[in-house]
Every structure is written in structure tokens, then in C-alpha cells.
Amino acid sequence: MSDREAAREDGDARELTPPPAPSELLGGALGEAARRAGFDPAADASTGRVVWQAMGGFRGVLESVLPSLAFLVVYTLWPEPLWISLVASVGLAAVFTILRFAQRSTPAAALGGLVAAAFAAALALFTGQGEQNFLPGLITNAAYGTAILISALVGWSVIGLAGGFLMGEGTAWRRDRRKRRVYFWLAIAWAALFYARLAVQLPLYLAGAVTELGTAKLLMGLPLFAPLVAVTWLAVRALYPRGDSADRA
């Protein structure tokens, strides 16, 4: 067979191969993101370690908590001028990002936090209202909660997409009634978390209660995120006893 004929056959084979479905692309991306976050079924890790990795370890906790805490403390002590509180928050986010780059570690989380903090600060400075510093977070909670809820209601739980590809079975979990039910309720639980934050924080935002809003954001952040990560991890592991995932086959 000539090289030209071989190339033609390869091209024909590629044309016959259907492109991946959107659910496969999304599931693969979610699964890979979950694996990078510490949800690796091939690793013999305890639930506590998985939760700790999902939070980004000690540095991740500091990056998540300190900018908001700095804004809250400074604003409580010196509500005017507003820019002092905003500089404290954005400044800490910038420090964490610089440290990430200096140590050549993955800067994505810190950089994302810096961009979010800078945008929120610009919004607050433009309006002169401290509560606007929390508006992007409220929008994020609404968007995540709605997306996850819809995914559950239409039968394509994003938790299931991530778990299925993470455990090596793709979307096959949708043919298993037990798995489908578990993934549905896990998605409902995550959507409830985001909506609970919104239900508590939105009235405070509308009332302009900046100190109370900042406190609620901190208390409803990692303290609620960590237990739900643990529940999700335990539930998914229960669906796939050791040796049952495709990765171990």
C-alpha cells in the first residue's frame, strides 16, 4: 500500500469517527478538574486529606479567607475612606499571586482570586458603596446554583459527569438507577449550598449591611464547603467499591 493510500484510509477512518458529544467534553473537563483538585480514585487517600486538597491546603485556605477577612476587619475599624479596605483586600490577593509566580507553583487559583477581588473593588469604588464589593460573589452563587440545579433536573448532573469520567465510566452511570439517584441528590445538595448563601447574603446586600455581609460570606464559605466535599467524596466512593472503577480494571 502506498503512502497516499494509507493517508487516504486514515482520513476516511477519522471521518467515520463521530466527534465527542458535548456531555463527554464537559464530563472530561470536570473529571480532570476534580482530579487536579485531589479527587483521584487511584490514590489511597483519606476523606480528610481529600477535603484538605480540595480546599487547596494551607495556602489555599489563606488565599480564600484572608482577602475577605482583611476587608471585613479594616472596614469595621475604618469604614471611611472605603479605598483603604479595598486596598487591603486586593493587596493580599496580589501578594498571594506574586508568591505563586515566584515559587513557580500553579497560579490559577490565586490569579483568579486577584482578578475577582480587583473587579469587585473597582465596582465598590465606582459606586462608593462597600456592599458592591460582594456583588460578584452573589452573582457567582446564583449562576453556579442555577447551573447545577438545572443539570440535576434534566438528568445530567454535573456531579455525575465529573464522577463518571473521574471513575473511568464516562456517562455510563446514567444507565444505573442507583448512581443516577445519588448523583441527582448530590447536585441538589450543591445547588442548595449556593442558594443558601444567596438567601442569607442577598438581603444583607440590599440592606447595605456591609459588616454583616462580610461575616456571612466568611461563615458560609469554607465551613460549609468542606463538609459537603466530604459527603460528596464518601457518596461517590460508595458507588464504586475498590477495584470497580475502569481505572483499576
Residue range 166-195, pLDDT digits in tens: 888 888 899 999 999 999 999 999 999 999
The answer, as to whether pTM is greater than 0.85, is no
pLDDT at 48: 80
Residue 15, in any domain of the structure: no
Give the pLDDT score at 42. Answer: 54
pLDDT for 106 equals 65
Residue 49 within any structural domain of the chain: no
> Sorting pLDDT into bands at 50, 70 and 90, what band is 56?
confident
**Is the model more confident about 36 or about 59?**
59
Q: Give the domain extent around 151.
A: 20-40+130-249
Of all residues in the chain, what percent carry a pLDDT higher than 70?
A: 77
Answer whether residue 76 is part of any domain. Answer: yes
Which run of H or of E encompasses 73?
A: helix 57-77
pLDDT over 80 at 145, yes or no: yes
pLDDT band at residue 247, thresholds of 50, 70 and 90?
very low
Looking at the fold, whether 89 and 141 belong to one and the same domain comes out as no
- Answer yes or no: do 33 and 66 share one domain: no
**Shared domain check, 134 and 118:** no
Would 2 be classed as within a structural domain? Answer: no
| Dist CA 165 CA 27 (whole Å) | 6
Residue 178 sits in the same domain as residue 68:
no
Mean pLDDT over 60-66 rounds to 86
What pLDDT score does 186 carry? 95
Same domain for 191 and 231, yes or no, is yes
Q: Is residue 194 part of a domain?
A: yes
Same domain, yes or no: 105 and 199: no
- Indicate the range of 53-57, 108-112, 222-226 predicted with least confidence: 108-112
User: Within a domain: residue 45?
Assistant: no
- Whether residue 87 is contained in a domain is answered as yes
pLDDT beyond 70 at 41: no
Asked whether residue 117 falls in the same domain as residue 134, the answer is: no
Reply yes or no on whether the pLDDT at 73 is more than 80: yes
Same domain (yes/no): 28, 59: no
For the record, the C-alpha cell of 12 comes out as 476516511
- pLDDT confidence of 138, banded at 50, 70, 90? very high
Q: 244 with 184: CB under 8 angstroms?
A: no
Per-residue pLDDT at 3: 54
Q: What pLDDT does residue 33 have?
A: 66
Q: What does the mean pLDDT of the chain come to?
A: 83
Number of domains present in the structure of the chain: 2
CA-derived radius of gyration, the chain: 22
Could you tell me which residue, 108 or 128, shows the higher pLDDT?
128
* Dihedral Cα 72, 74, 79, 81, nearest 10 deg: -130
Q: Same domain, yes or no, for 145 and 113?
A: no
For residues 246 and 180, state if they share a domain.
yes
Question: What pLDDT, on a 0 to 100 scale, did the predictor assign at position 52?
Answer: 80
Confidence band, pLDDT 50/70/90 cuts, at residue 249: very low
* pLDDT for res 13: 47
For 139-197, the DSSP string reads HHHHHHHHHHHHHHHTT--HHHHHHHHHTT-TTGGGG-HHHHHHHHHHHHHHHHHHHHH
Q: Do 28 and 93 fall into the same domain?
A: no
Higher pLDDT, 140 or 40: 140
CA distance linking residue 34 with residue 29, whole number of Å: 9
Q: Are residues 147 and 35 in the same domain?
A: yes
